[in-house]
A and B are shown apart, each in its own frame.
Chain A
Amino acid sequence: GQNIDQPTEMTATEGAIVQINCTYQTSGFNGLFWYQQHAGEAPTFLSYNVLDGLEEKGRFSSFLSRSKGYSYLLLKELQMKDSASYLCAALDSNYQLIWGAGTKLIIKP
């Protein structure tokens, strides 16, 4: 079957760095997405990786290892507004998104 695993909840301190991991098992693979979702709102796109390596976009970076079925989202210089759920989703061979349950990130002052 197809499966996405990510931690349910993480806590970090304002100004610090946090890494949210995601492992995936899919029928074929056409890339991995990270979305941010604030409570009660719709998800918004953060990143897309299809090749191995690190993609940096400001304070946020996303890493992919296709051979390990593994990705992480790295958030630097954490701000209170980064408190949200972070959703990992893999695109399978039929270009359908398989979603993880999301990681709730709590930022403390």
Chain B
Amino acid sequence: SQTIHQWPATLVQPVGSPLSLECTVEGTSNPNLYWYRQAAGRGLQLLFYSVGIGQISSEVPQNLSASRPQDRQFILSSKKLLLSDSGFYLCAWSVRGADTGELFFGEGSRLTVL
């Protein structure tokens, strides 16, 4: 069966510090991978998605970046965090080429920038 894991689960970082969130998927090949951010009382905001190794599409210009060094690994990074980067970050995957595009989410990472 397929599983998705992301870490760390909780992170408290000072403004201006770097960030690295990691996500891995097991039990499937060539998944579409996504990073979402969820702010309190707001819908899920798509940050990045990837259809293959080294292929990253950015939906929202910001100080965040994403990389996909391996087929089932997706990393969200920042060189200098802002207060506005606080939120709940979710990694997700979907089956490439599937008609429905159903998403399977990781456990989430709660980031607090102080």
Contact = CB atoms under 8 A, between A and B. Distances in A.
Contacts of A100: 43
Contacts of A30: 99, 101
B103 interface: yes
A101 B45 CA distance: 10
Secondary structure call for the A interface: loop
A31 B102 CA distance: 10
B105 interface: yes
A101 B103 contact: no
B111 to A, nearest CB: 13
B31 interface: no
Contacts, number: 46
A41 B43 contact: no
Interface of A: 4, 8, 30-31, 33, 40-45, 48, 50, 87, 89, 91, 95-97, 99-102
A42 B102 contact: no
A45 B103 contact: yes
B101 A97 contact: yes
A48 B100 contact: yes
B44 A87 contact: yes
Contacts of B42: 101
Contacts of B104: 45
Contacts of A42: 90, 105-108
A40 B10 CA distance: 11
Given A48-B100, A97-B103, 15 more contacts: A8-B41, A40-B108, A42-B90, A43-B90, A43-B103, A43-B105, A48-B102, A87-B44, A95-B101, A97-B44, A97-B46, A99-B43, A99-B44, A99-B45, A102-B43
A87 B90 CA distance: 14
B14 to A, nearest CB: 23
7 contacts: A30-B99, A42-B108, A48-B100, A48-B102, A91-B101, A99-B45, A100-B43
